[in-house]
Amino acid sequence: MRRKFVAGNWKMNTLAGSATALAKGLAEGVLTTESVDVAVFPPLPYLAAVSATVAGSGVRVGAQNVYHEKPGAFTGEVSVEMLLDVGCQWVLVGHSERRHLVGECNSLVNRKLIQACERGLSVILCVGETLLERQSHQTEMVLNSQMAGSLLGVDAALMPKIVIAYEPVWAIGTGVNATPDQAESAHHHLRTWLAGRYNRMVSESTRILYGGSVKANNAKELLSLSNVDGVLVGGASLEVEGFSKIIQAARDVSR
C-alpha cells in the first residue's frame, strides 16, 4: 500500500511570525511515528525558520521553487544546495501558477526536476489541465504532454524521488474541486501512463496526489479513492486546525 502524503503549499502567504506560529502548531500534532507523510512548502525567506521550528517532529519542509543550474552567477535564483542547507527535503516543480503566470514550459520544469533529484531533493511534479482544455476533452492529451516533457530523460531509477500531483487548474483556489470520479479518472490515467512509460513496478509504487480546493470537508472522500495517494493543499494549509483535520483524514484512511 502506498503511504499517504499530505503536503501544504503556503504559496506567497505568511510573514516570519505567522509562518513559525503555523509551523509550531502543526509540529505539535505531527509526530515522527506518523502513519502518513506530512510536508509544508513555505515561502523561500522563511524556509530556515520553519525548518528549525519543525525539527524533531514528523513535518518535513520543501521549497516552492528551485533553479536548474549549479550555484553561480544567477541573480535572484536559489540552488538545490541552498535549499538542502536550510533543511529542505522536497521541492515543487511544474505548479500551474509557475506554468501559467510565470511562463515555465515543460522543458524548464524538466531541467529543474532533474537538477533537484540528482543533487539530493525529492520532487513533487505538478500537472493539470485548464478549464478550457477539460471542456474541449483534452485533459488526457494535456497530461500526457506535461508528463512526457517534464520527465524527459528521467529513468526508472530516479522515480522513487518523484511524487506526481494532479492539479486541475480550474479547481485551484476556486472553491470548486474535481468530483471523485473526475479525480479518480485522471489519477488512473496518470498511473497507466507511468506503466507505459516505465513499468508496472514504477506505476504501482509512484504516489499521485490530488490538489485543487482540498479542504477538511472533502479530504477524506478524495483520499479514499484507490488511485489518490495524498493531497497537495493550498489555502486550507494556512490554518492549523483545518490542515490538521486533513492530516487526520489521511490517517483515518490509512488504517
Of 240, 198, 246, 253, the C-alpha closest to 14 is 240
What phi and psi values does residue 53 have, to the nearest 5 degrees? -70, -40
Give residue 178's pLDDT: 85
Rounded distance between C-alpha atoms, residue 231 and residue 54, angstroms? 20
Question: Is-above-0.85 flag for pTM?
Answer: yes
For residue 40, the Cα-to-chain-centroid distance in whole angstroms is 9
Active-site residue identified among 34, 68, 95, 184? 95
Annotated active-site residue 68? The verdict is no
Domain ranges of the chain: 5-254
Q: Are 202 and 208 in contact (CB under 8 A)?
A: no
Instruction: Check if 187 is active-site.
Output: no
Q: How does 2-34 read in b/e, with b if 16+ C-beta sit within 10 Å?
A: eebbbbbbbbeebeeeebbebbebbbebbeeeb
pLDDT at position 216 is 96
Q: Tens place of pLDDT for every residue, the chain, 255 residues?
A: 899 999 999 999 999 999 999 999 999 999 998 899 999 999 999 999 999 999 999 999 999 999 999 999 999 999 999 999 999 999 999 999 999 999 999 999 999 999 999 999 999 999 999 999 999 999 999 999 999 999 999 999 999 999 999 999 988 877 777 899 999 999 999 999 999 999 999 999 999 999 988 999 999 999 999 999 999 999 999 999 999 999 999 999 998
Q: What is the pLDDT of residue 88?
A: 98
Residue 46 pLDDT: 98
Q: Which of 34, 104, 129, 167 is catalytic?
A: 167
Maximal CA-CA distance, the chain: 49
Do 206 and 162 contact (CB within 8 A), yes or no? yes
* Residue in this structure with the C-alpha cell 502518513, named with its chain if needed: 36
- Does the domain at residues 5-254 carry the CATH identifier 3.30.70.920? no
pLDDT of the residue at 126: 98
